[in-house]
Every structure is written in structure tokens, then in C-alpha cells.
Amino acid sequence: MESTRNAVIETERMFHALDGQFFGKYRGLVVDNTDPTHRGRLQVKVPAVMGEETLWAEPCAPYAGDGVGFFALPPANAGVWVEFEAGDPRYPIWSGCFWACGQIDAADAAPSIKFFKTDSFTIRIDDEQGEMVIETKTGSRITVNGTEVKLEAAQVSQVAQTAKTELTPASFSVNNGALAVAVI
């Protein structure tokens, strides 16, 4: 009987010690991604922990150091996973993002597709087709596959030290016009 009582007291003591601590990941929302300290922090809301209060969450980056690293911040209103260092809500960490239903094109949701997409650029790798496409919002595109490297743009330039070739819909030029072919 005494051991049961001691176990209950110990359990209550442990629960009291954990009061106010938050372990695991919580769904958050990006409020602002412009960190005044330039470290990749996000201002986030985590309703389950802080209600409507916002806080600055440190990034959990896959690669970082003095002048090096992987830096990509989600936009405002994006869903982010937030956790807390040692469970302390004063030390939030954003550890990744998540998509809501309908936020990924069905064509990009296949297991063989890997992509990195911003507002202006897309890098899309299709392992099944053996193809990588880098594309701008305005339609310029580089396609690499097993048989070719294809460049598509309004104008294509190639520069090697002081030598330059330039291709437009109207002409082909070498070294700034030293040799030029006009398309008629």
C-alpha cells in the first residue's frame, strides 16, 4: 500500500514538473518570414500552445555555418511544424513545413518526382523519366535528360572568358557581331 502511495506521489511530482512544457511537434502558421536578425527565423502562431500570440522560431536547418548553408524560408501563411527546445515555449524551433490539401499539383505528387518551387523558379526532377527541368515563371527552360541538354528562351547566350555566342529569334552572333547570321 505504501509503495502504491509513493508511486502516485512520484507520478504527480513528475506531472507537476512537466506543467507548462510542450514536447513534440505542433502545427503553426507563418506570420512573417523577414527576420530582423537575418538568421532564418520565422514569426509564427502556434494556436495549441500560445493561442493568437506570435513568437520568433529559430530554424532547424539541415546545413548551416558561418557563410554556408541551405537557406529557404516558407512564405507568410504557410503551414510549419513548431517544437520547443527542452519543451520550453520560450524557445520555439520551426523544423519543417506541411502542405494543405490541394496545394501540390497532382502531376508533382508522384513518388518519382522531386521538386523545389518558388514564386519565380521551379526545379523538377523526374526519376522515372530520367529528366530534370529548370524553368522560370516567364517560360525560359533548361531540360536535361539522357540524350540532350535543351535550352528554351527568348534569347540564349554563351560566354567563355571573352568569347560569346548569342542566339535570338532574328539572328546568331559570335563575339558581339564579328560573325553574324540573320534569319530571314
Domain 2-98: give its CATH code: 2.40.50.230
User: What would the pLDDT profile of 2-20 be if each residue is shown by its tens digit?
Assistant: 777 777 666 666 555 567 8
> Residue 69 pairs with which residues in a beta bridge?
64
User: What would the pLDDT profile of 160-177 be if each residue is shown by its tens digit?
Assistant: 888 888 888 888 888 888
User: What would the pLDDT profile of 45-89 be if each residue is shown by its tens digit?
Assistant: 999 999 999 999 999 999 999 999 999 999 999 999 999 999 999
User: Could you tell me which of 159, 160, 139 has the C-alpha nearest to residue 151?
Assistant: 139
Name the burial class of residue 132, with classes exposed (0-12), middle (13-18) and buried (19+) by CB atoms within 10 angstroms of its CB. Answer: middle
Domain residue spans in the chain?
Answer: 2-98, 106-182
User: What would the pLDDT profile of 83-127 be if each residue is shown by its tens digit?
Assistant: 999 999 999 999 999 999 999 988 889 999 999 999 999 999 999
